[in-house]
Chains A and B, each alone.
Chain A
Amino acid sequence: MTPVTPRFFGAVVVSMLLAVILSIIPLPEPFQMWRPEWVALALIHWALVLGHRVGLWMAFIIGLLMDVLHNSLLGQHALELVMVGYLSIRLGGRMTPEAYFQQFALILAVLGLYMLLSLWIRGVTGYAQAGNTWQYWAPLLSSLLIWPLYQWALSYFYNQKKGL
């Protein structure tokens, strides 16, 4: 129904894996806290573009991979990414794809929830962050700022039929 198709077979998975790589590239300490949530952003992007054709199972598996890479509790990132996928599929269907303002609102809500969930799970399992708590929310801002650029870069991975 939607005129969007992935550019090649497995394009979604490839772009998600690239996002995972972006999330583990070592950064110097001052930039570390500003690292955008690449994987969650990529998932939101695909949910907005492809709708429910994005597999939640894929989000789950990628999440488990993230858990091993980040040494978090097995299932933590999986839960968070599945939630991000579900919410953005449900909410994304109700808005115009080109409206940046709506997209920002959606990302703010979904990513905020994503990070809050992560904070809760960490708190329960004894990894509550000590000290500057506002620093925890820095990636939310950087994710919003990087979004237009990132979305443009990710648009390489699909074909859109124009002017039907």
Chain B
Amino acid sequence: MEADISNSNFHSAPGLTIKFILLVVLALTLMAIDYRKTESMAPVRTLFSILAYPLQWSVDVPFRVYNETATFFTDQTNLTLENNTLKDQLRLYEARYQDMVVVEQQNERLRHELKANPRDGYEFSMAEILASSGDRVRRIVTLNKGTRDGVYEKQVVLAGGRIYGQVLSVSPFSATVIQLTDQRHAIPVRNQRTGFTTLALGTGKTNTLKLDNVILVEDKIQEGDIFVTSGLDELFPADFPVARVVKDGINYDQSSQFAQITTETLVNFEQTREVLLMWPKKSQGVKSEVATPETTGDKPIGQPASNSAVHHATTPAQNHSAGTTPTTTHTAPTRKTP
């Protein structure tokens, strides 16, 4: 051992420093390109996410095995009980669905009479959360479905009828989803009680969104108010529940005119393992409302582009005029009824 130490020159490592400098420059270049033009690095990202897929899959195996064995060893009586409750629920929902069909038909007829755009439905598909980003700051998860299953970028992801997030990037077998609570995510919301619209920003903390710079007039926002999507960004469909104002969540600093409002998401991100992917149903090929990718750049994703918000706001007025004066032809510049 002694001879070993004295024989080797510990200050020499041939070519090491050169290689180090080379790799540092390479990494810095990659970072700069990825920061400025994320889409140009998409092939590299896709390549590495295909390589990473087996790792994520192998991490998920124990959980899946546990779930399967747990299902296998469930008590017979428990299963029967559960089955019965589910059947009851199904009957209830069947009745409600019948009602819904009637309402839907009525709605379609009325829209037709008003010469309004037909309402598009949605199709859903389940996906499982394969892995969550180990990063403490980001709120990003990986799903086990990808382009192979028709997943696309900026697709809306739900969890039990509530908004979960949106698809950030897709590879053939998997997709990464950014949750509402990620620091750089923003979603336009509307107070269900008062109709007040604002942006809900992610905080990076579990199940917490904040509404920034709200000017409080009268009781626009109260504790326990529920915020739903406003649909102003034309990405998230309108009227899906998002968050609730927590107790003592309204902080009003006397020195500034703005209030800070803390809300908790209605999805429990900690315990969600299965999510719903949402596809707009193509009805008579009218318009491509949801699948309009807008380059976000440095803005938080999901923030409404100004033109789209204006565009959306003008639509009801056009409908109204078309409804009251049926002789004038409805000439909305971008959306046309067939």
B135 near A65: Cβ-Cβ < 8 Å: no
- Chain A residues contacting B176 (CB-CB under 8 Å) are 71
Asked if A147 is at the interface (CB within 8 A of a chain B CB), the reply is: no
Closest to B34 in A: A74
Task: Given A33-B136, A78-B27, verify A71-B48 contact (CB < 8 Å).
Answer: no
| Contacts of A49-106 to chain B: CB distance below 8 A | 51-52, 56-57, 59-60, 63-65, 67-76, 78-79, 82-83, 86, 89-90, 93-94
Check A21 against B58 for contact (C-beta < 8 Å).
yes
Residues of A within 8 A of B31 (CB): 73-76, 79, 121
Among B173-208, those with CB < 8 Å from A are 176, 183-184, 203-206
B20: which A residues are within 8 A, CB to CB?
56, 82-83, 86
Size range of the interface on B? 35 or more
B132 touching A26 by the CB < 8 A rule?
Answer: yes
B103 within 8 A of A: no
Does A17 belong to the interface (CB within 8 Å)?
yes
Q: Mark B260-281, 1 if CB is under 8 A from A, else 0.
A: 0000000000100000000000
Q: Could you tell me if B45 and A74 are in contact, using CB atoms closer than 8 angstroms?
A: yes
Contact between A52 and B184, CB atoms less than 8 A apart: no
A59 to B19, CA, bound (A): 12
In whole Å, how far is B170's beta carbon from the nearest beta carbon of chain A? Answer: 13
Is B133 close to A, CB under 8 A? Answer: yes
Contact of B13 among A2, A28, A35, A93 (CB under 8 A): A93
Tally of contact residues, A, Cβ under 8 A: 54
A127 to B300, CA, bound (A): 12
Contact between chains at A70 and B184 (CB < 8 Å): no
**Choice from A51, A60, A75, A129 contacting B137 with Cβ under 8 Å:** A129
Are B24 and A70 in contact, with the CB atoms below 8 A?
Answer: no
B10 at the interface (CB under 8 A from A): yes
Task: List the A residue with the shortest CB-CB distance to B11.
Answer: A93
B49 contact set on A, CB distance < 8 A: 68
Determine whether A10 belongs to the interface, using a CB cutoff of 8 Å to chain B: no
Q: CA separation between A106 and B180, bound complex, in Å?
A: 39
Q: Mark B9-25, 1 if CB is under 8 A from A, else 0.
A: 01101101101100110
12 contacts between A and B (CB under 8 A): A24-B59, A52-B14, A52-B16, A57-B19, A68-B45, A71-B133, A74-B30, A74-B44, A75-B31, A86-B20, A93-B13, A126-B298
9 more contacts with CB within 8 A, not counting A86-B20, A93-B10, A122-B137, are A26-B59, A26-B132, A56-B23, A60-B26, A69-B55, A82-B23, A86-B16, A126-B298, A129-B136
Give me the interface of B with A, judged by CB distance under 8 Å. 1, 4, 7-8, 10-11, 13-14, 16-17, 19-20, 23-24, 26-31, 33-35, 41, 44-45, 48-49, 51-52, 55-56, 58-59, 131-138, 140, 168, 176, 183-184, 203-206, 270, 298
Q: Shortest 8 CB-CB distances between A and B: which pairs?
A: A75-B30, A79-B27, A93-B10, A75-B31, A74-B34, A52-B13, A68-B48, A75-B27
